[in-house]
């Protein structure tokens, strides 16, 4: 009946609104913690937690690449997640019993990597992606600010097969990190363990999150530059 259809539509709208409120609340919580520190390494680690924590975006793994000093390449800096299903499910089970709030989880990781992340960080530091020469999804992501929901990446001519071999999957989300129009790097996330399909909505949420992350990175860079200038002035004065 028309009344039943109307009630069902109302329920769907209310569910979408509730999901949006929850999403905004999560983003606000992440942004608050991200902007509470100026230490770049702490910020990078917290970005990874925001992308992978089940209380937040919930991807299986996340990889963060920053633009090299000479702007010719993306360099793998930090990553989080497991390289095997057995290891992943063991860690997830442990975390589910600990019942951390998102803020507590973010703050618990200030200052360094967890032991579980050592293997994947060894992997990400092997990854270097050229931003010169032939066009790739990475050059487009960095220079044009476009996001990608990559499926069957091994068949995509714009993705280096050697990179995919290291990553271990051809399905991932890729979003730019940029602040005030200045490219900073990219954030890549995947569902390597549970193989759950990444939706366009997942990519949009990751991109919104990356905007908050970019602001925190830029603030850290500005603070570092200011500290260096103050040290120069102090030395000159002395």
**Is residue 115 predicted with pLDDT exceeding 90?**
no
**Is residue 110 predicted with pLDDT exceeding 80?**
no
Per-residue pLDDT reduced to its tens digit, 20-73:
555 556 666 677 777 778 788 888 888 888 899 877 789 999 999 999 999 999
| 129 or 43, greater pLDDT | 129
Half-sphere exposure of 19 (CA within 13 A, CB side): 10
The per-residue pLDDT for 43 is 86
**How far is Cα 117 from Cα 236, in angstroms, rounded to an integer?**
43
**Is residue 111 predicted with pLDDT exceeding 60?**
no
Per-residue pLDDT reduced to its tens digit, 65-75:
999 999 999 99
Q: Per-residue confidence at 180, pLDDT binned at 50, 70, 90?
A: confident
Q: What phi, psi does 191 have (nearest 5°)? A: -115, 55
Give which of 159, 169, 167 is closest to 194, Cα–Cα: 169
Q: 55 Cβ partners below 8 Å, 6+ apart?
A: 26, 100, 101, 102, 105
Read off the pLDDT of each residue in 92-109 and give the average, rounded to a whole number: 61
Q: Which residues make beta-bridge pairs with 64?
A: 78, 187
Q: Tokens in use for 157?
A: 């001519």
3-state SS track over 139-159: HHHHHHCCCEEECCHHHCCCC
- Cβ atoms of 79 and 124 within 8 Å: the answer is yes
CA dihedral 157, 182, 68, 129 (to 10 degrees): -10
In the chain, the percentage of residues whose pLDDT exceeds 90 is: 48
Q: 123 Cβ partners below 8 Å, 6+ apart?
A: 76, 79, 83, 166
- Cβ atoms of 26 and 52 within 8 Å: the answer is no
The per-residue pLDDT for 209 is 92
**Average pLDDT over the chain, rounded to whole?**
84
């Amino acid at each position: 009946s028309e009344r039943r259809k109307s009630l069902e539509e109302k329920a769907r709208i209310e569910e979408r609104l509730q999901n949006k409120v929850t999403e905004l609340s999560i983003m606000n919580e992440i942004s608050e913690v991200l902007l509470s520190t100026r230490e770049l390494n702490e910020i990078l680690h917290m970005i990874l937690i925001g992308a992978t924590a089940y209380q937040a975006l919930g991807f299986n793994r996340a990889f963060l690449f920053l633009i090299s000093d000479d702007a010719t390449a993306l360099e793998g800096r930090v990553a989080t997640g497991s390289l095997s299903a057995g290891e992943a499910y063991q860690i997830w089970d442990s975390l589910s019993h600990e019942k951390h709030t998102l803020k507590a989880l973010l703050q618990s990781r200030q200052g360094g990597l967890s032991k579980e992340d050592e293997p994947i960080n060894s992997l990400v530091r092997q990854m270097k992606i050229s931003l010169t020469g032939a066009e790739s999804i990475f050059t487009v992501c960095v220079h044009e600010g476009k996001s990608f929901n990559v499926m069957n990446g091994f068949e995509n001519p714009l993705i280096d097969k050697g990179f995919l071999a290291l990553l271990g999957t051809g399905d991932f989300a890729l979003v730019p990190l940029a602040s005030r129009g200045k490219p900073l790097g990219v954030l890549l996330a995947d569902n390597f363990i549970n193989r759950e399909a990444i939706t366009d909505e997942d990519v949009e949420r990751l991109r919104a999150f990356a905007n908050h992350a970019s602001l925190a990175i830029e603030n850290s860079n500005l603070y570092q530059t200011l500290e260096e200038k103050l040290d120069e002035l102090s030395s000159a004065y002395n």
